[in-house]
Amino acid sequence: MIEAQERIREQVREGYSRIANTESSCCSGGTASCCGSGSAEQVARSVGYSEAELAALPEGANMGLSCGNPTAIASLKPGEVVLDLGSGGGFDVFIAGRKVGPTGRVIGVDMTPEMISKARRNIAAYSDGTGLNNVEFRLGEIEHLPVADQSIDVVISNCVLNLSPDKPQVWRDISRVLKPGGRVAVSDLALLKPLPPEITVMIESLIGCIAGAVLVEDTRRMMEQADLVDIQLTPKGGYVDSMVDWNDPLYQKIIGHLPKGSKAGDYVTSLDISARKR
């Protein structure tokens, strides 16, 4: 079991290292990821980011890896301490930093060194544009967060938890770092029904956040076991079908393995997840 988890983790790390090293976004670069073949801006706009938010980002921070808008779900307030799981190039960290302001703090955690380096290079442009010095990036795995117990007001994440080979441990560690009453605001991919077996073994679909997704009710169960309450799970099926509309090669390949007459949205949904720690 441990060997299998490490193998999956290394495959994901290698895939996202390639994405981090491309000059353009993952979408236009043609690298398998959570996005379709539209531009990074098109992906972000489709899941609810505003033109103002996108225009204010450091160059290269938006890599088209979103499947939702966790900063909107979180309703962030000035002064809060926020933790972003799988922070990539810093996209949601920089957006959250503006929302929590000079008295708040945002910490991004990513297990891919190339992503951490990319995000840290973006800090100077963020600070120059905002006058804020309230973001940082730490190398680490989301199953074992490099963050102190009960130190976080809000945990956010965008299309990352599905990639973990040990999701129950992710939810336990989220609960560990949250202050009592702290909030969770996550956008992720989830399954409405089990995928055909041949799709789950395609590494392209793993890096594309599909094969690692679990059933919606499995997500609820793991969260409850981690002592999270007021759980709200809101499916948003249009995201997956829009990936197909953009003729992304990865999603077209997946569709080719579905039963005749089925579409990706019958199986996979973007899921808005919110909860709080008891």
Domains defined along the chain, listed by start: 2-277 (3.40.50.150)
Enclosing H/E stretch for 153: strand 152-158
pLDDT of residue 113: 95
All residue ranges of the chain with pLDDT < 50 are 24-37
Give the gyration radius of the chain's Cα atoms. Answer: 17
Give tens-digit pLDDT for 179-233.
999 999 999 989 999 888 877 766 555 555 566 889 999 999 999 999 999 999 9
Q: How far apart are CA 117 and CA 137, in angstroms?
A: 9
pLDDT of residue 267: 87
Q: State the pTM of this model.
A: 0.87
Kindly compute the dihedral angle of the four CA atoms of residues 132, 138, 144, 149, in this order, to the nearest 10 degrees: -40
Q: How far apart are CA 267 and CA 278, in angstroms?
A: 32
Pairing assessment for the beta strands 268-277 and 135-139 based on DSSP bridges: unpaired
